[in-house]
Structure 1
Amino acid sequence: MKYFKFLIPLLFIACNNEKVILLPEVEQSNIHEVLDVSPAYLFYDSTAVNNIELNRKNLIITTNWLVNVDKRLTLKQLIPKIQFLQNKKRSSELHKNEDAKNYYSCNDTSIKNLGFVEFTDVYYHTKDSVVSSKKAWNSLEENSLKLQVESLKSIGLPDGENTINLQQLVSDLKNSSISETTYMVLNMSESLTFQEYISLKSALLSVVSEKLILDTNEFIY
């Protein structure tokens, strides 16, 4: 199955019930086309448990997975469902495709079309998994830039005293002279919406380089 890049990006209407997903928006993404995909949908549903509904009936294990998430959902609502999907693919031994990846879909406003954010290798650690979260945190690279993200307007720096907004953080990172490999580590409030999360990831991916790397471990508190 192919996913065509000129689909209307603002909405997804899935299933026979014509449920609508509002996709998050980014100013620019670095991926604009994904082929051989099967979709999953995470709906915002005020009548469902935790206001979230997952539709994954069309997922094929050997394909790239395109996960369409409503931008109004919070990380607290969303991440357990994402972990469930990741575990399904990672634990599958039947017809496993090592090249198949996972992507979030979004609306790239720079081209007024679809963009995608890959999350294949991301490992989410929540406050409910204390032991594994602590182990992952303790195993972080020594040269880690640990960012405490309360909101896009309040991002705590490693010194523990100063906070800046996302725009200033990106500007500082672009203008910094990094001499040794540094890993950006996200420690995020569970109250962040998916829109805020995608905005954060998209902005930080824009400054990634050989010396500045976005860590694949992400923490939610």
Structure 2
Amino acid sequence: MKKIIVLFSALSLFSCKQEDVQLAKADVSVMTDIQDHSPVYMFFRENEKDTVVEVNKNNTIGTTNWIFNIDKRLPLHALIPDLAKLQDKKKNGMHKKEGTINVFSYADSLHQNLAFLPFDDVRFFYDKDFSKFYIKDHAELYMSYDNFTINFKKNGKVTVDGHAIDKNELVSYIKDFSEFMSDGKPIILHLNFDKHLTFNDYIQNKLMLWKITSDKIQFSSYEFIYDETKLPECGCEL
């Protein structure tokens, strides 16, 4: 098994070229061990016009699990298109192996270890899509669930079904609904992220909600990375 080195003083992951990827960090470990893996490095780069992603996938093997080591500073608008292409490459590759997965790496600052968040079943919708509209257009698929449209905005604010909520109260809000107000239906959390947020924002928010997932509370496999200027006019709060 290939070794991965984490330096917690800098929270950096190093490639064979000794280039650093600044990892996101959290206080929870979803997974701590993954065997038979290949690394994908996604570096933070800046040019005169914008922030860009530099991808190093030279050591990937299609029959292994892929660990995506992504710099936490990368904005989603730069990251997601390349990330989605790599997902497709792994899924549709000639040498794909059943049962292998894709995971994000991050640093668990509480337990001082490298941890992983699987995202193999995630499909990213980019730019002009938003879960509220998707649910409406596919209402028959979601009638048997309690659906929460959760929107993480670029200003750090959060809305649930269009209603502003303190981010520190988001978890308790969903838990209270599940325990006291739910009509017995399973709950699906539909996640939306403004494309100007960073990967650090993305993984921190997702891990925050992951702590309350259960048989009754699940993430939707569809995640929406939206451009506010390209969303349909609805005359409503998102």
TM-score normalized with structure 2 length:
0.82
Which amino acid in structure 1 is aligned with residue 20 of structure 2? Answer: V
For residues 171 and 155 of structure 2, the distance between their equivalents in structure 1, rounded to whole angstroms, comes to 11
Once the two structures are overlaid, the 10-residue window that deviates more, 81-90 or 146-155, is 146-155
In the alignment, which residue of structure 1 is the partner of 2:28? Answer: 28
Within 5 A, what are the aligned runs for 1:70-219? Answer: 70-92=71-93, 94-127=94-127, 138-139=137-138, 141-142=142-143, 143=145, 144-151=147-154, 153-158=156-161, 160=162, 162-176=163-177, 177=179, 178=182, 179-219=184-224
Which amino acid in structure 2 is aligned with residue 182 of structure 1? Answer: I
In the alignment, which residue of structure 2 is the partner of 1:44? Answer: 44
Task: Mark the structure with the bigger radius of gyration.
Answer: 2
For residues 85 and 118 of structure 2, the distance between their equivalents in structure 1, rounded to whole angstroms, comes to 17
Q: Deviations over 1:134-156 (max 9, x none)?
A: 76873362331111210484111
Identity over aligned residues, as a percent? 31
* 1:37, distance to aligned residue in structure 2 (A): 0.4
* 1:210, distance to aligned residue in structure 2 (A): 1.2
For residues 66 and 149 of structure 1, the distance between their equivalents in structure 2, rounded to whole angstroms, comes to 25
1:11/1:21 contact within 8 Å kept: yes
2:6/2:13 contact within 8 Å kept: no
For residues 117 and 127 of structure 1, the distance between their equivalents in structure 2, rounded to whole angstroms, comes to 24
2:60/2:66 contact within 8 Å kept: yes
Instruction: Give the alignment's Cα RMSD to 1 decimal.
Output: 2.3
Q: Which runs of 5 or more structure 1 residues have no equivalent in the other structure?
A: none
Q: SS state of the match for residue 180, structure 1? A: coil
Which amino acid in structure 2 is aligned with residue 53 of structure 1? Answer: E
Which amino acid in structure 1 is aligned with residue 166 of structure 2? Answer: N
Q: SS state of the match for residue 51, structure 1? A: strand
* 1:8, distance to aligned residue in structure 2 (A): 3.6
Aligned in 2, Cα 1:76/1:136: closer, same or farther, shift over 3 Å? farther
Q: SS state of the match for residue 214, structure 2? A: coil
For residues 109 and 173 of structure 1, the distance between their equivalents in structure 2, rounded to whole angstroms, comes to 25
Which amino acid in structure 2 is aligned with residue 79 of structure 1? Answer: I
2:41/2:68 contact within 8 Å kept: yes
